[in-house]
Amino acid sequence: MDLRLYDTLTREKRVFTPIDPARVRMYVCGPTVYDYAHIGNARPVIVFDVLFRLLRHLYGAEHVTYVRNITDVDDKINARATEEYPSLPLNEAIREVTNKTDKQFHDDVAALGCLPPTVEPRATEHIEEMKTLIERLMKSGNAYVAEEHVLFSVPSMKDYGKLSNRPLDEMIAGARVDVAAYKRNEMDFVLWKPSKRGEPAWPSPSGIKTQGRPGWHIECSAMSWKHLGETFDIHGGGIDLVFPHHENEIAQSRCAFHTSVMANYWMHNGFLQVEGEKMSKSLGNFVTIQDVLATPMSSLVPIANDEGPTPIFAGWKERWNGLCARFAMLQTKYSEPIDWTTRRFNEAGDELYRFYEVLRDAYYDTSLTREVPDNLLAALRDDLNTPAAITTLRATAKSQDVSALGAGLSLLGLLDDEFVRRDDLLLFNHALSLTAEQEAMVNARNAARVRKDWKESDRIRDELAAMGICLRDNSDGTTTPESAR
Ligand code: AMP
Ligand code: ZN
């Protein structure tokens, strides 16, 4: 059966045909590393991780190359470096900021169950490739020099604007560019600009004497070229990147290589929203991935044993919260907006743990085939329909089809053996966060269990159940009726 993907450029869902099935190639625009990533930034990372996993499943892991860049040269980085390390020379301060943020980002997305991409190029390591492209564009008449800048001449490309398909006046208004007298056309965008004193600077493309630095868009054309070639299969990112970033990437790459396309499929994830508005740094309505990983609303806690309520393994809470966030995110189709709520996050955790309970012990029976079920694959092949895939998981859980459930969870990056195997965890059955008093009751109950005071522990459990909070223990066979939900 075919894989079909919605392509933003042609505005249709088409059968995916890789240029070379032995080397399927995908590029996704990565983070600008100057601050903690928020949970909205996590959405493209999770969405394209699922696509990466699906492509590996369909074509073989060794046949898929996934490139996600790191933007480590940007005005926002410079500003943050000056603010945070005023006594350091700017270049060193920038290195501090980018290294720290880069590490944080990797820890964050690993906790969200994402595989590392095949290649993670950094913009500053591809300045030579950017300059080569810029020089080609100057030679072909698609770029010009003005006041030590190099600008891409938008009117030089006949079909500029196909991806976003906006009327010209809207593009002019929406272009995230400063109006500058040296531009021949207001739509023209910067490929290279002079560096101010102290700013990162490299020798400029030929014909410009002063040192400079790249504009934002050219880096992705350079890095995708270096690691994937002039034309490749899939290009992804958030919907906000369609214009101007992806439009400009297309213009640069197509004009530099004289090709009719840059990538054959353009995929864009919808926004993660808070009360109907895009979560963003500038609106200040964001929750960082760190906040989500550390949030106290985790639906699991370790059950106390003779040594007391010990942590089950290092970093378990972040890993559990990461899985819950990933599961919560995949319940919505990648192209649709999501409203981020703690309720959604908690409910995802409850459901995921119930899946794990179905798998416990049985899934590790070596005679199981663990084949991904056809109906789940069919859902993913239909433009990465993860909510439909999750619906099939519910049916497999209901029918206790352990093999299919485990294989399906695994393909979606939602299976964590460590959690499946542990039966010394308590599930808070809640769609709301616990109050401090309720948490104290859980702790008191754990303490009673350590004392082997079963009467007291049962009493507290019943009291919590009366509040609608259902604790389910597995180690001693205690279960609380589902009706407490
Ligand atoms: P930035 O660091 O802002 O360039 O964003 C990195 C990636 O996160 C890009 O692919 C953006 O499109 C994406 N992104 C940023 N904010 C959101 C959001 N609220 N929802 C979904 N994706 C987002
Ligand atoms: Zn990009």
Q: How far is the CA of 30 from the centre of ligand 2 (A)?
A: 7
Q: How far is the CA of 67 from the centre of ligand 2 (A)?
A: 11
Amino acid code (one letter) for 180: A
The larger pLDDT score, comparing residue 317 to residue 109, is at 109
Using the Cα atoms of residue 106, residue 112, residue 115 and residue 120 in order, give the sign of their dihedral.
Answer: negative
Q: Which ligand is nearest to the CA of 246?
A: 2
Residue closest via CA to ligand 1's atom 21 equals: 271
Q: How far is the CA of 117 from the centre of ligand 1 (A)?
A: 17
- Reference 74, options 109, 108, 45, 98; nearest CA is 98
Q: Which ligand is nearest to the CA of 235?
A: 2
Edge-to-edge strand order for the sheet containing 149-152? 143-146, 149-152, 189-194, 212-214
Residue closest via CA to ligand 1's atom 6 equals: 31
Residue closest via CA to ligand 1's atom 14 equals: 41
Give residue 303's pLDDT: 74
Edge-to-edge strand order for the sheet containing 425-429? 300-302, 425-429, 470-472
Give residue 485's pLDDT: 28
- Is residue 232 within 8 A of residue 27, CB to CB? The reply is yes
Domains, the chain, in order of start with CATH, read 1-294 (3.40.50.620), 428-485 (no CATH)
Which tens digit of pLDDT belongs to each residue from 223-258? 999 999 999 999 999 999 999 999 999 999 999 999
Q: How far is the CA of 74 from the centre of ligand 2 (A)?
A: 13
- Rounded to two decimals, what is the model's pTM? 0.90
Q: How far is the CA of 461 from the centre of ligand 2 (A)?
A: 52
Which tens digit of pLDDT belongs to each residue from 363-411? 988 888 899 999 999 999 999 999 999 999 999 999 999 999 999 999 9
Least confident of 34-38, 290-294, 345-349: 345-349
Give residue 436's pLDDT: 79
Q: What is the DSSP letter of 362?
A: G
**Mean pLDDT of all residues in the chain?**
90
Which among 43, 249, 336 is the best mutation to test ligand 1's pocket, defined by most ligand atoms within 8 Å of the CB? 43
Q: Label residue 305 by pLDDT band (50, 70, 90).
A: low
- Give the pLDDT mean for 313-333: 93
Residues in contact with ligand 1 (CB, 6 Å cut-off)? 29, 31-32, 40-41, 43-44, 237-238, 240-241, 269, 271-272, 278-280
Q: Which ligand is nearest to the CA of 268?
A: 1
Look-up: residue for tokens 């630095």?
213
Q: Label residue 175 by pLDDT band (50, 70, 90).
A: low
- Is residue 220 within 8 A of residue 29, CB to CB? The reply is yes
First to last CA, the chain: 40
Residue 26 has pLDDT above 90, yes or no: yes
Give residue 480's pLDDT: 38
User: Which residues sit opposite 146 in a β-bridge?
Assistant: 149
Q: What is the DSSP letter of 167?
A: -
Q: Which residues have CB less than 5 Å away from ligand 2 (the ion)?
A: 29, 220
Q: How far is the CA of 267 from the centre of ligand 1 (A)?
A: 13
- Is residue 393 within 8 A of residue 376, CB to CB? The reply is yes
User: Which residues sit opposite 7 in a β-bridge?
Assistant: 12
- Is residue 184 within 8 A of residue 151, CB to CB? The reply is yes
Q: How far is the CA of 200 from the centre of ligand 1 (A)?
A: 25
As given in the structure block, the two tokens for residue 307 are: 């040594």
Residue closest via CA to ligand 1's atom 1 equals: 31
Residue closest via CA to ligand 1's atom 12 equals: 238
